[in-house]
Amino acid sequence: MLHEIVGESFLIRLRGKEYRCQAYKANERMLYQINFNGRLLYVTRALNQHRIPFWTTIPQDWKLRTVAYELGNQIEKHFN
> Which residues here bind other proteins, judged by CB under 8 A?
1-3, 18-20, 24, 26-27, 29, 31, 33, 35, 37-38, 40, 42, 44, 46-49, 54, 56-62, 65, 68
Distances in Å between the Cα of 74 and the Cα atoms of 2, 3, 64 are 26, 23, 15
Closest approach of other proteins to the CB of residue 21, in Å? 11
- Give min distance, CB of 16 to other proteins, in A: 15
What are the beta bridge partners of residue 31?
24
**Angle in degrees, CA 11, 57, 47, rounded to 5:** 105
| CB of 61 vs other proteins, minimal distance in Å | 7
Bond prior to 59 in cis (omega within 30° of 0): yes
